[in-house]
Structure 1
Amino acid sequence: MVPLPQNWRMIARKYPNSYFLFFLLAIILLPMMELSAQAFTRDEFKDSIQNIPYFTIHKDNYFITGLPTNTSVNSNTANAKYQISFKQMITRNALPWDTYLFATYSQKAFWDVYKESFPFREINFNPSIGVGKAIFNKRDRLKGIISINFEHESNGRDSIFSRSWNRLNIEYATNLSDKIRARGKLWLPFAYKKGNSDILEYRGLGELQLSYEMKPNKLYFEVLLRKGLTWDTKGTYRPRIYYSPFKKNRSNQYFMLEWYVGQAESLMDYKAFTSMVRIGYVIKSNELNFLKGK
């Protein structure tokens, strides 16, 4: 048996009843899925990656606003949330083992727009740097995309309000069918004890995201799942619906309805349970469109 890293052995001893192994199984099983015959060949993928812009969207860029479902609605509980996220390809020419170097930056803000002075409640900063690699099946067609990256996340505060953690991630994205895409992500956390030593009880050691393409470029359903490292209900369930009213959605713009249920929506209040329904405008990420094929 391959020995677990020291951090993971410590986590396994501390949380013997956890079922974060679900995410381990997801990572193992996702690469076994087969894609349709329309998937890119190795040469087609290499040509495509040479033609994409160096600077692109990473995660969804959005501005949404809404209200809670589990408490009274007022100017203190209703708010807005927005995110900006981009990706910079550092190299498009293949590095050793046909890998590619990239950097990302995401910033998520919680904005109390219904209060008199419109104050920002919190801003979370999330840079990363990593390498990506395309995985091909025996027929030499694109099967999935794997990446390994170093990621930092913090709220930029100091003293007792400081929240930050670092992690080494491994992520794999593939298609489960012509319309369903899956992305599994596992992380090995480190340097996270000060201010939020129990964050893994709420964030867990990974996440699983499923996306269902109901109508191409028109209607999507997506769900994100995380499970904290305890037997209780700590974790995250975040479904989203994307709808585009545009006839030709070349700019990848949608309206998005999101329901966030669980903990760790923000770093400052990662222990607090949240049930928020928000709606607004989004420029949807298309960095995994390679998986759609031709």
Structure 2
Amino acid sequence: MEFILARLHYKLGIVSLILGSISQVQASTMSDCIAKQVEIGTDEMTLGEIRGICEAQVSIARDDTVTIFGKESKAGALSKRIVQERQSEQSEFVLTPHKMNYILPVYTTSEINPDAYSSDKPFDEGLKDIEAKFQLSLKFPLTYNSLFVEGDRIYGAFTIEAWWQVYADDISSPFRETNYNPELFYVMPLDWHPYEGNTGLMFGIEHQSNGRSSPLSRSWNRVFAEFIYEKENLVWFVRPWYRLPEDEKTDPLESGGDDNPDIADYMGHAEYGVGYDFGNYELSVKLRQNFSTSNGAVQVNLTTPLYGKLKGYVTFFNGYGDSLIDYNHSQTRVGVGIALNNMF
């Protein structure tokens, strides 16, 4: 999913146990784990934090449980990933994925946006309905110790998406669109376990733009909240947002002001997603909807075993907002490629 979950994404800190740095090989005993964390951990780590990392690691390896606010809880797909992520955060040799990292050598569309490039006829007429797409997404902790509740964190993140007309030889195979998405967010676990599941919250602010000049410039700023629920291999999330207002443009070609004042009419005010880890396969669905305009989008993602840590990745998209330049263009897209990390 580029999901959630992927966002899950977003991989919430829904477990209280985890801070630390990575072990390249999982320790089999508490003593081995503690020795490894002492060796590679930062000076800021306390003995209690090291114990928390190792207790979580050994507990999951033993019986798939985690401790949240002092209570044992069944570890779900996200909790297990969070343990691994928190172990990697303080290592200077490891980059932590945020959303999915993938490349789609084949990404088809029912129709390239007919309006966005109409002012450049040679370019517009040379675009192909099959292109490539890739996404790179990383995050980094800005805090390493709990702030307000046990297990919470502040993160920075950056995601880049690129739509590459690699098969359009007549126009020199350009990058048709590139979107940049920096974020700042806070995550916290909740001491609430409906139906023996785990829950967490995220609050943040993000900017998204395509780095183009007028008239192709597209951008917006949002503050958001996100609630995530996991139970064993099932993950579910809801992510409402509020778009921060910008000054209205008096001239479409001026550099300042709002490039896309109607973007919420197409992109909506929230996302909803659900995903399931089948073991070797992961399936997720993400939805967006503006109920007043009836515009929105649906995306379905599937990862499969491929080779080593590489995953096969198949995605289906229908609706508005596959990219910022296409925020007001509805299309159906299918992609096939390789994912470098799981959805969650």
> If the length of structure 2 is used for normalisation, what is the TM-score?
0.64
CA distance in 2, matches of 1:261, 1:75: 20
Say if 1:135 and 1:142, in contact at 8 Å, map to a contact too. no
Of the three residues 315, 322, 334, the one matched with 1:258 is 315
Confirm or deny that 1:96 pairs with 2:133. Answer: no
Q: Match of 1:207?
A: 271
Query: Would you tell me which structure has more strand in proportion to its own residues?
Result: 1
CA distance in 2, matches of 1:60, 1:273: 23
Say if 2:197 and 2:232, in contact at 8 Å, map to a contact too. no
Amino acid at match of 1:180: L
Q: Match of 2:88?
A: 52
Alignment CA distance shift 1:131-1:69 (3 Å)? same
For the residue of structure 1 that corresponds to 2:265, the secondary structure is helix
Matches within 5 A, 1:51-200: 51-54=87-90, 55-64=95-104, 65-69=106-110, 76-98=128-150, 99-116=152-169, 117-137=172-192, 143-175=198-230, 177-192=231-246, 194-200=258-264
CA distance in 2, matches of 1:258, 1:50: 28
Of the three residues 292, 300, 306, the one matched with 1:230 is 292
**Alpha-carbon distance, 1:264 to partner:** 0.7
**Alpha-carbon distance, 1:285 to partner:** 4.3
Amino acid at match of 1:41: T
Amino acid at match of 1:89: P
Say if 1:148 and 1:170, in contact at 8 Å, map to a contact too. yes
Amino acid at match of 1:146: L
**Alpha-carbon distance, 1:70 to partner:** 6.2
Say if 1:50 and 1:92, in contact at 8 Å, map to a contact too. no
For the residue of structure 1 that corresponds to 2:149, the secondary structure is helix
Say if 1:239 and 1:260, in contact at 8 Å, map to a contact too. yes
Deviations 1:99-124 (A, max 9, x none): 31110100001110111111000100
Say if 1:40 and 1:142, in contact at 8 Å, map to a contact too. no
Amino acid at match of 1:58: H
CA distance in 2, matches of 1:75, 1:195: 23
Structure 2 residues not aligned, in runs of 5+: 1-13, 15-62, 73-78, 113-125, 249-257
Say if 2:303 and 2:342, in contact at 8 Å, map to a contact too. no
CA distance in 2, matches of 1:163, 1:229: 23
CA distance in 2, matches of 1:39, 1:263: 41
Larger Rg: 2
Say if 2:312 and 2:337, in contact at 8 Å, map to a contact too. yes
CA distance in 1, matches of 2:325, 2:127: 19
Supply the RMSD in Å over aligned alpha carbons: 2.7
Say if 2:298 and 2:318, in contact at 8 Å, map to a contact too. yes
Say if 2:193 and 2:199, in contact at 8 Å, map to a contact too. no
Say if 2:197 and 2:229, in contact at 8 Å, map to a contact too. no
Alignment CA distance shift 1:52-1:144 (3 Å)? farther
Alignment CA distance shift 1:174-1:113 (3 Å)? same
**Alpha-carbon distance, 1:212 to partner:** 1.6
Deviations 1:3-47 (A, max 9, x none): xxxxxxxxxxxxxxxxxxxxxxxxxxxx9xxxxx955212688x9
Alignment CA distance shift 1:197-1:231 (3 Å)? closer
Identical counterparts, % of pairs: 25
Say if 1:86 and 1:104, in contact at 8 Å, map to a contact too. yes
Alignment CA distance shift 1:200-1:75 (3 Å)? closer
Deviations 1:96-153 (A, max 9, x none): 33431110100001110111111000100000111111112379x8722211111000
Deviations 1:36-94 (A, max 9, x none): x955212688x9475232441000001112222468xx962111111000010111211
Say if 2:127 and 2:165, in contact at 8 Å, map to a contact too. yes
CA distance in 1, matches of 2:296, 2:202: 24
Say if 2:156 and 2:182, in contact at 8 Å, map to a contact too. yes
Of the three residues 67, 91, 98, the one matched with 1:41 is 67
Alignment CA distance shift 1:95-1:220 (3 Å)? same
CA distance in 1, matches of 2:142, 2:238: 24
Amino acid at match of 1:62: Y
Which deviates more from structure 2 when the two are superposed, residues 110-119 or residues 47-56?
47-56
